[in-house]
Amino acid sequence: MSDGPRLPGVDGEDDEDRIVCHVDADCFYASCERLREPELRGEPLVVGMGYEAGDTIGAVATASYEAREFGVESAQAISTALERLPRRTAYEAGETDDDVEREETGYYRPVDMDYYESVASEVREILHDCADTVREVSIDEAYLDVTERTAWEVADGFARHIRDRIRREIGVTVSVGVAPTMSTAKIASDFDKPDGLTVVEPGEIREFLAPLEVDLLHGVGPVTARELREMGLETAGDVAATDPEPLVERFGERGQELYDRARGEDDRRVEPKGDPKSFSRESAFAEPVEAPDPKYELIDTLAAAVADRAQREGALYRTIGVKAVTPPYDVNTRERSLSGPIDDPELVDRIARDLFTEFESDPVRKLGVRVANLEFVAADQASLESWERSEDGSETDASDELSDAEPDSEPEPAGDERASGQSSLADFS
């Protein structure tokens, strides 16, 4: 590692002491669809838009590994995907060419971001439980600093615990890369997909990176890879061994970054991307439950847990919500907005119970409680009592201060997305 100056505020921490995990979901949208429809497991599956009759524009959002074997790729035109992998429904209706076999067809499903966000929120809860610092990069990947949670001697076991827990509790697969730096951990998570686990220990980074094609370097896309090859640089080892000046001349400041990353030098720290927008806790039953009592007992437990986390994080909240997942995998959310930010665990429990009443007689697979519209302040904690007075100082019934409404900060979905009583899941992530 470089012996140059360190970033301010790191107190001389040795870079090689850091243990960074990069957790990356495998074909996340497809994995989510398979949660809803287990019969899709092992089948070629394409998630995208524009494949229905009459649609003229569309693209592939995610292709399962089985679909990729037919040449279907993310961001591909849906028309190309359909040529390479006809729809199974078209085959069964006798609408494909005679020479097309059933095994050469696949399933297509539309993008359902609300549902994917719901699953992602469950994954994030596990990540935050396993690490002190989490940087959420996108819906399906995150960096974790687990330096204080494990040691290099057992880092592989710790990473395996994260991977296996997500698969066991959520039902989706992820690949995990572990390294002393963020960029190397990112490369390591891609090294053995799907369901992979790659650990690059201190002192092994240069050896691990050297044989990799330049395309695999963190931040290198097709255009940059082509330009690097034009310079005679085929592998990360070639980039690491070259004079950095030509790289800087060609790519500017990015050229120095490419050179550093190829040598395994990356002094970035895992830092959260701003304050979280919500806290939630969810738990599933072993099988759907119809009796009200077990469901309300779980609501109490989840409400206490989410309120406790908000207190520990120093957060006030304006919105309280519940989620009820009914068979086969119908996700229902309800929430209530308050007149001002509070910290009141008893109120969280009371409102969560009240919001859940419409589902108390339904079979339920999973429950969740959420607080949102967070404010992180250093002021005294607020409680329900502080909102029981109107502006003129007169007493008012606290229940009058509550209203069933979406948070003001969230846009209303277009069209009929909330048909059949289901709320948007984007507000429950």
* Torsion, CA 254, CA 260, CA 264, CA 270, rounded to 10: -60
DSSP string for 204-219: -HHHHHTTSBGGGSTT
- Spatial distance between the Cα atoms of 258 and 335, rounded to a whole number of angstroms: 47
- Spatial distance between the Cα atoms of 28 and 140, rounded to a whole number of angstroms: 6
Q: What share of the chain is helix, strand, coil (3-state, %, to 5)?
A: 40, 20, 40
Q: What are phi and psi of 108, to 5 degrees?
A: -125, 135
- HSE (side-chain half, CA atoms, 13 Å) at 184: 33
- Beta-carbon contacts of residue 390 (< 8 Å; ≥ 6 apart): 396
In the numeric block, the tokens 């790519």 are attached to 251
* CB 239 within 8 Å of CB 247: yes
Alpha helix ranges (H) inside 148-252: 155-169, 182-189, 205-209, 222-230, 236-241, 244-251
Q: Which of 141, 257, 265, 282 is catalytic?
A: 141
Q: Which two tokens stand for residue 157?
A: 């076991």
- Spatial distance between the Cα atoms of 46 and 85, rounded to a whole number of angstroms: 9
Q: What are phi and psi of 403, to 5 degrees?
A: -145, 140
Q: Quote the Cα angle for 417-419-424, to 5°.
A: 45
Q: Which two tokens stand for residue 43?
A: 């089948």
Q: Is 141 a catalytic residue?
A: yes
3-class DSSP assignment, residue 377: coil
Residue numbers annotated as active site: 141
